[in-house]
Structure 1
């Protein structure tokens, strides 16, 4: 699953190079800003044939309005009526510096790429009465993640960002890809996982 991620100033600079514009939500002072479910975040979509940056809320309103759906399994997203149309027609990418996961002892670990300051998480979005909302896709954990959790975000390579967003012929292939290896850091302050229910991981 993915229940919280973070962005930093270097992330903002990387995205600025990628799309030649930057959202003020990422251009904040300080070394790190955590993004929690239900909060607005910058995502990449396509606009007139090029990548476009806009702000959307993290999490689909849940069933009966009681829960947020923040994640969806990449292997089954196309078979779920809640997700299928969005995956086919409204794909997006969430650029982050890294993300957090908690193990069975509720110890928090941070995951990030050693070879890049940026991770590109595959997602999709849908319009609701209040705003557009997005969901992050997850895949089975690889060897760098499995000791902490059995799921992880579906991570795209830089060259896969544009095809994921714009090329429907690549959708099924990318949904089943194996994410890259990540570095793990357990040195952060240990916190209990917030009581977020409703994620489909």
Structure 2
């Protein structure tokens, strides 16, 4: 899953990476938590005349998706993540998968390795960031919820997938990463149905992320400064690929 992430890149860097026509300034955020506002990118109607950039817009949504059919959010679970394997058919995400796919810019995310209770080991937090580049785009979903009095709130969730072998050493789920060359296809909800973008919802390559152990400062929402990303140990190395044994089987090298 993805329960905390960070966006510390500058607005100019985010604007260039995602091909946005414009983007208002915002401060660096080191410890973004559920229910807080997050930046997402949606597809617009059409490119501006004379512009080589696609018509993409950045909007703020509440992190925690509320389907339009929910009557009382207080009686509904907080959906910060959506499992990519089931999102196409699940009632909570079906409409958003078809009509409101978004990109969630991030500088990385946090995950906790929680050993078995009888192992004697302590839980360890990791700051997981792209090894090359300052920004990554997670696959996301957006839904606008309307209350009985007519007020509206935009909400969102991050899609997850089973982890690759490297991140799987920490947790069994990770955010879906959309590559820059696939932004347009992912955001195109007018001509591309969910089944046509299902191939994008796969684990990132083994060497895409670097996992840096950090202190438990990140556990508390009130800690919002760069100190939450200070390393407390060596980064996890990329999981080596499996090799065939002489008997024709395979073995793991870690």
TM-score tier by shorter-chain length is 0.7 to 0.9
Give the 3-state SS of the residue equivalent to 1:69 in structure 2: coil
Q: Is the 8 A contact 1:23 1:54 kept in 2?
A: no
Separation in 1 of the partners of 2:99 and 2:200?
A: 15
Greater strand share, structure number = 1
Q: Is the 8 A contact 1:74 1:138 kept in 2?
A: yes
Q: Is the 8 A contact 1:44 1:92 kept in 2?
A: yes
Question: How do residues 1-201 of structure 1 correspond to structure 2 at under 5 angstroms?
Answer: 1-10=1-10, 12-17=11-16, 18-24=19-25, 27-28=26-27, 32-49=29-46, 50-61=55-66, 65=75, 67-104=77-114, 105-129=122-146, 130-166=152-188, 168-169=192-193, 170-175=196-201, 177-180=202-205, 181-186=208-213, 188-191=214-217, 193=219
**Structure 2 residues not aligned, in runs of 5+:** 47-54, 115-121, 147-151, 221-254
| Greater RCO, CA 8 A, separation 6+ | 1
Q: Is the 8 A contact 1:107 1:192 kept in 2?
A: no
Give the 3-state SS of the residue equivalent to 2:131 in structure 1: coil
Deviates more, 1:93-102 or 1:160-169: 160-169
- Alpha-carbon deviation of 1:106? 2.8
Would the alpha carbon gap of residues 66 and 172 (structure 1) be closer, same or farther in structure 2, given more than 3 Å must change?
closer
- TM-score, L = length of structure 2: 0.68
Give the 3-state SS of the residue equivalent to 2:105 in structure 1: strand
Task: Provide the aligned length of Structure 1 versus Structure 2.
Answer: 188
Q: Is the 8 A contact 2:63 2:155 kept in 1?
A: yes
Q: How large is the RMSD of aligned CA atoms in angstroms?
A: 2.1
Structure of higher CA gyration radius:
2
User: Which residue of 1 is the match for residue 225 of structure 2?
Assistant: none
Separation in 1 of the partners of 2:113 and 2:24?
A: 33
